[in-house]
Homo-oligomer: A and B are copies of this chain.
């Protein structure tokens, strides 16, 4: 088996940078295009599944060699995101371009679900729902007449109340402004189980990830899930799932490993560079953002990702050149969030807040994906 070494494909352009790391491939293999990796990876995954060599050893080899081959042109990667964006036509009906649900909003947090829901709309979803607590609902409603806000999350019937909407939703974003109340987390557990049962894609962020760190089985093997941890959330998740202290020397390997341990759930580790993996490939997004770290940017990402996940799954792998659609969706949402942050910072500098970034979603999207 050709598992004695590995390679890393790094693509860069003026617009940003993407790295694709493929574990377990022979060094110097004459594979020219990233696309071809997918087939090899699929084959190797099958072989791995059969023969099961120690995963850590494979990964260590794959990444420690750190052979990088630069592909100058990142246009192709942005093209994959462009490929999944549904055309705007006059033939469509309301809802066809996306009905997204956000699960979150509690006593303290009302801004986060708003940022996620409004970002989904501004990316291009037709309808944005928020499922929050009774108390949070009027406040979230007051932020924008665009949102449909359901005050159900702390109700004894929360799971059924959300479940009855699931057939009408294309994706669920779980976590923005959720908090850590035990009762709420119990309800969210039920909602996640119902979503999986109905095959609804889920993006999990913030205290949704707290729940996953407590009960990884909730999401284990669900390949329509994307987790979007920041620095602290990634550490918590990683240590909970892998039962090892996080190795900070190998950011790509750490994300790949977590995704694999979760059964190929897509993981987006947000940071100075965002690292994305579906347990097979690793993408890195270093689209220029800004140095502002105000609260709410993660909600812009998760809300955008809700829409892009739906679009990517609808488009299917033939539109993403063999890459996992969720990987491409995640790359699109990361690039977009960073571009919004960049544009807002150009205008507002240190005083930039997430509201300024949300105002850039339209222009940033057009610039990255429609030019």
Contact = CB atoms under 8 A, between A and B. Distances in A.
| Assembly stoichiometry (copies) | 2
Given A148-B108, A349-B366, A294 B126 contact: yes
A327 to B, nearest CB: 22
A243 interface: no
Contacts of A88: 290-292, 350
A126 B362 CA distance: 24
A124 B350 contact: yes
B111 A355 contact: no
Contacts of A110: 141, 145, 149
A189 interface: no
Given A126-B293, A126-B295, A93 B232 contact: yes
Interface string A92-106: 111111000000000
A184 B131 CA distance: 22
Interface string A135-159: 1001101111111111100000000
A338 to B, nearest CB: 10
B366 A294 contact: no
Contacts of A272: 90-91
A337 to B, nearest CB: 13
A108 B350 contact: no
Given A151-B107, A294-B127, A295-B127, A146 B92 contact: no
Contacts of A135: 138
Contact of A111 (B95, B112, B145): B145
B353 A124 contact: no
A63 interface: no
Q: Which A-B residue pairs are the 5 nearest by beta carbons?
A: A351-B362, A111-B145, A88-B291, A122-B351, A142-B142
